[in-house]
Amino acid sequence: MSETPAGRHQAGSSGRPLPMTSAEEGLPAEVTVYEVGARDGLQNEQVVVPVEVKAEMVTRLHAAGLPAVEATSFVHPKWVPQLADAAELMGLLVERLGDAARRMPVLVPNERGLDRALDLGLEHVAVFGSATETFAQRNLNRSYDEQFAMFEPTVRRAREAGLTVRGYLSMCFGDPWEGAVPLDQVVRAGVRLLEMGAGQLSLGDTIGVGTAGHVKALVAAFAEAGVGVDRLAMHFHDTYGQALANTHAALQAGITTFDASAGGLGGCPYARSATGNLATEDLLWMLQGLGVRTGVDLDAVVATSAWMAGQLGRPSPSAVVRALAEPGGLAESGA
């Protein structure tokens, strides 16, 4: 790993600034960036984005080298009108990308959603549960226990059909209605999803209230329950600007899969205080600086987010996108 001399600002082959790089001992050498922009990012947009624009966004993110690009959700179209075009989008993506599109993960809350994914030959699905009672009701129209009853046949049938299943768990840190969520409550809910057959558990800080020490405590609580870091992913929202600090803490705890959203798009339509996810570009910049490999082309993701910002009619909230892509930003001024 080459190190940037302290205080010097290097320009990359594209002429753009590069992060100072100094490998930090003890961190994973490589991590998986799990891109959720087309799903978590877009699901909260009030104006429906044309399906061709979504297809272009997903295609560009895939081309940037992101190993997992979550494309959409097979949820009830009345609950999330923005993603009512899920089948049409996947059809367009299969036309463009063939089997690579069938390998893109999608959300399915129930058997009806799974059937829609199976009809299209998709290979990776994710169920999404809540660690709290109130959010289960608001997001899934189910009680806490009923959500697991809904997932059980969904996960079982998906596994029988040879699909992999990711389990998302929301409200792993705090909940806007119930306040702080105890660690053991989160672990109990997560273990239920894993025991049901989810291969990976993504721990969601849905409203961004988590802080670095709490992240380490949660990873330790899962370890005590016999769930190692190889089964966990982290899903941070950046509401209070803590997502990168939390990511760094999770890296130190050995986590190697991080969810992020290109350009920092995002939010959850059923949790008002949920804002954008950790921006993929901000994550890539930090990982590059820490000497952690991802295989993702940062410039290509920045270009995609700058283009999406034009489509959505507002600037990206990502600091790295603003610095590298906006007129007058670092890239232009050479600062």
Q: Among 303, 296, 295, which Cα is nearest to 320's?
A: 303
Give the Cα separation of 5 and 272 in Å (integer). Answer: 44
Binding mask 21-60 for Mg ion (x = CB under 5 A): -------------------x--------------------
> How many CB atoms are located within 10 Å of the residue 6 CB?
7
Residue nearest to ligand HMG (CB): 204
Give the Cα separation of 74 and 107 in Å (integer). Answer: 6
**Pairing mode of beta strands 174-175, 179-180:** antiparallel
The nearest distance, CB 137 to ligand HMG, in angstroms, is: 9
Active-site residue, from 268, 287, 320, 323: 268
| Nearest to ligand HMG of 64, 234 (CB atom) | 234
The nearest distance, CB 273 to Mg ion, in angstroms, is: 12
b/e map of 228-258 (b: 16 or more CB within 10 Å)?
ebebbbbbbbbbeebbbbbbbbbbbbebbbb
| Nearest to ligand HMG of 135, 285 (CB atom) | 135
Our finding on whether 175 is near Mg ion (CB under 5 A) is no
| Nearest to ligand HMG of 141, 288 (CB atom) | 141
The nearest distance, CB 245 to ligand HMG, in angstroms, is: 18
Give the Cα separation of 328 and 269 in Å (integer). Answer: 33
**Pairing mode of beta strands 32-35, 68-69:** parallel
> How many CB atoms are located within 10 Å of the residue 29 CB?
10
Q: Which does 173 bind (CB under 5 to 8 A by kind): ligand HMG, Mg ion, none?
A: none
The contact set with ligand HMG (CB under 6 A) reads 40, 43, 73-76, 79-80, 109-110, 112-113, 128, 139-141, 168, 170, 204, 206, 235, 237, 268, 270
Residue 268 falls in the annotated catalytic set: yes
Q: Which does 294 bind (CB under 5 to 8 A by kind): ligand HMG, Mg ion, none?
A: none
Our finding on whether 205 is near Mg ion (CB under 5 A) is no
| Nearest to ligand HMG of 112, 188 (CB atom) | 112
The nearest distance, CB 59 to Mg ion, in angstroms, is: 22
At 201, which helix (H) or strand (E)?
strand 200-205
The nearest distance, CB 64 to ligand HMG, in angstroms, is: 21
Give the Cα separation of 253 and 216 in Å (integer). Answer: 6
Q: Say if residues 129 and 170 touch (Cβ distance below 8 Å).
A: yes
Residues that bind Mg ion (CB under 5 A): 40
List, by residue number, the catalytic residues.
Answer: 268
